[in-house]
């Protein structure tokens, strides 16, 4: 399903998930990856508000709820989310952090 230009989705994130992101920010700073972490979260925010159907990959469709479950990754952050088919709403289920992630070395 392609989004129409100017269409903006509302993204719902639970307080528990917000707190987990804050806790992971401490790890990112300690690992020297704070700029990459912030960039990942900004990309995820953009993708979920502007193009949630195009980004990531489809996992399953909950027919009775009319929600498509999807999974997308930016840098070290993976987000599991659902997109309502009948409304411009995205529900974040979970953020997962890959603590082994490192940026690619600069090419020579």
Residue whose C-alpha is closest to residue 11's, from 66, 39, 59, 50? 50
Pairing of strands 89-97, 10-12: parallel
Q: Tens-digit pLDDT profile for the chain (108 aa)? A: 555 566 899 999 999 999 999 999 999 999 999 999 999 999 999 999 999 999 999 999 998 889 999 999 999 999 999 999 999 999 999 999 999 999 888 887
Beta partners for 66? none
Residue 102 lies in a domain: no
Number of domains in the chain: 1
Domain span at residue 85 reads: 10-97
Residue 87 domain-assigned?
A: yes
Residue 90 lies in a domain: yes
Assess contact for 67 and 82: CB atoms under 8 A: yes
Q: Report d(CA 46, CA 75) in Å as an integer.
A: 14
């Amino acid at each position: 399903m392609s989004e129409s230009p100017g269409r903006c989705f509302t993204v719902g994130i639970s307080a528990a998930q917000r707190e987990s992101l804050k806790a992971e920010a401490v790890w990112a700073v300690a690992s020297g990856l704070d700029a990459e972490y912030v960039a990942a979260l900004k990309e995820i925010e953009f993708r979920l508000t502007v193009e949630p159907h195009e980004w990531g990959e489809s996992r399953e469709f909950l027919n009775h709820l009319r929600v498509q479950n999807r999974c997308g990754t930016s840098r070290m952050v993976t987000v599991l989310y659902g997109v309502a088919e009948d409304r411009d709403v995205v529900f974040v289920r979970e953020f997962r952090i890959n603590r082994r992630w490192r940026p690619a070395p600069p090419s020579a």
